[in-house]
Amino acid sequence: MAPATRPATARRILFYAENFAPGSVAEELALWFAARGHAVEAVAAAGTRAGESAAWWSGEERHGIRITRCPRRRAALPGGIGEQLQHLSFALASAPALLGRARRFRPWLIVGVDPAGAALPTLLLAARRARASSWVHVSEERLLAVPLLGRVGHVSLAAVGAEARLAACGIAETRRLALPSWVDSRTIHPLPLSPLRDSLGIEPDSIVALYAGSLEDSQGVERMIAAARRLPANGAVVFVLAGRGACWPMLAAATHHLPLRLLPWPRAANLNALLALADIHVLPAGLAAPDPLFPARLAALLASGRPVVATGAVPPELAAAVLPMAADAEGLAAALVALAAQPEERGRRAAAARRAAQDYHDKERVFRALERALGLRPAPLMDAAAA
């Protein structure tokens, strides 16, 4: 996506993100702001793409964005001391690069996307030296309760209950940007029928209850297996679980004697076909449960135009799309069987889900609201053309 010609009102924005690669939140935000006419640069880690060296500093330009790549010590496995050392090595290696780019580029705004705590001092110093505003966007699984975060100009989180979560981390109300998770509702959209149904041997009149995401205990996997034992024996309702994680072997064993199918996590290009497999989406851990495998999961499920069954609280704007259920196997099975028997109710909630995705979670709406909240003046001609 080539950036548009910059209007007179464009701002200079410098992104600071360890992960700046295709599909990352940092690149998604940077490309959108560049397309809006803002001048965008980035300081990021090397070695974020397959086959790419992480051993030295380098520069590149992609989609009109200049990227300064900095080395890091890559962790062999996620989590633990290895991952902490990876973040620390990037923070140390990128500090002079960020300060240098801030001095030369003179950004109006410096953006940190999921920065480690060790990277915050340099981000704040760079913003002060450049006389720039600062903004940090954090993902649900990387939300940091560290004192320095409270000194950032704006802190954003895209999640159910984002306002309360940011407040719990000590972020002042005037600095909080509570966002809904976002989705490109043109990429994820309703399909009448998924080609995956036939490949799984599911009867045309069976109702598919789909769970998509991490296959971990924290996501309620055992509860879904227990609920599958309580589904009708005639296959009227079939569980399909798609993802990856530690519970895969246990689920694979359960497919031999339960109305349950198991699928690997798809490539991004095949995600819409997977979500279209569902007649009902299932979230046993609730709407607010973060999932690193499937960021912005709720927004994508709603955009696919299918009803959602979930435990826990449901925001008022999603009440027509999401059916609350009891937080046990019996409650999950009962909710699925009841909704499976009501095609008109499923259709009503499916339409409400798609409306909610377009009204509250559409990427373009969320990003434009974010642009206004940050004080970035939009390009008038582009606004008029998109209206």
Query: DSSP for 175-229?
Result: GEEEE---B-TTTS---S--THHHHTT--TTPEEEEEEEE-SGGGTHHHHHHHHT
Please give the model's pTM, rounded to 2 decimal places: 0.89
Query: How confident is the model at residue 81, as a pLDDT?
Result: 87
Cα(309)–Cα(324) distance, integer angstroms: 6
Residue carrying the six token digits 């598919």: 208
Q: Which of 6, 65, 41 is nearest to 378 (CA)?
A: 6
Cα(190)–Cα(178) distance, integer angstroms: 27
Bridge pairing between strands 58-62 and 65-70: antiparallel
Cα(273)–Cα(259) distance, integer angstroms: 21
Q: Side chain identity at 156, as an amino acid letter?
A: S
Q: Is the CB of residue 40 less than 8 Å from the CB of residue 57? A: no
Q: Which of 309, 254, 256, 250 is nearest to 280 (CA)?
A: 309
The overall longest dimension of the chain from CA atoms, in Å, is: 68
pLDDT, mean of each 10-residue run, the chain (387 residues): 53 96 94 96 84 76 94 78 89 97 97 94 97 95 80 95 91 95 96 87 93 96 95 91 96 93 95 96 94 94 98 94 94 95 97 97 96 77 41
Query: How confident is the model at residue 52, as a pLDDT?
Result: 63
Query: How confident is the model at residue 53, as a pLDDT?
Result: 65
Q: What is the dihedral of CA 358, 360, 361, 362, to 10 degrees?
A: 40
Question: What are residue 69's DSSP bridge partners?
Answer: 44, 58
- Distant-in-sequence, close-in-space partners of 370: CB < 8 Å, separation ≥ 6: 156, 177, 179
Query: How confident is the model at residue 54, as a pLDDT?
Result: 63
Main-chain phi, psi angles of 351, to 5 degrees = -65, -40
Q: Which of 261, 236, 260, 193 is nearest to 340 (CA)?
A: 236
Q: Which of 195, 153, 192, 196 is nearest to 171 (CA)?
A: 153
Residue carrying the six token digits 């960020």: 98
Query: How confident is the model at residue 234, as a pLDDT?
Result: 85
Query: How confident is the model at residue 90, as a pLDDT?
Result: 94
| Number of Cβ within a 10 Å radius of residue 204 | 7
Show the beta-strand stretches assigned E in the chain.
Answer: 12-17, 39-45, 58-62, 65-70, 109-113, 133-138, 154-158, 176-179, 207-214, 237-244, 260-264, 280-283, 308-310, 322-324
Going along the chain from its start, the domains and CATH numbers come out as 12-182+362-386 (3.40.50.2000), 196-361 (3.40.50.2000)
Task: Tell me the HSE value of 287 on the side-chain side, using a 13 A CA sphere.
Answer: 29
- Distant-in-sequence, close-in-space partners of 96: CB < 8 Å, separation ≥ 6: none
Q: Which of 61, 63, 83 is nearest to 73 (CA)?
A: 83
Q: Is the CB of residue 273 less than 8 Å from the CB of residue 246? A: no
Query: How confident is the model at residue 50, as a pLDDT?
Result: 57
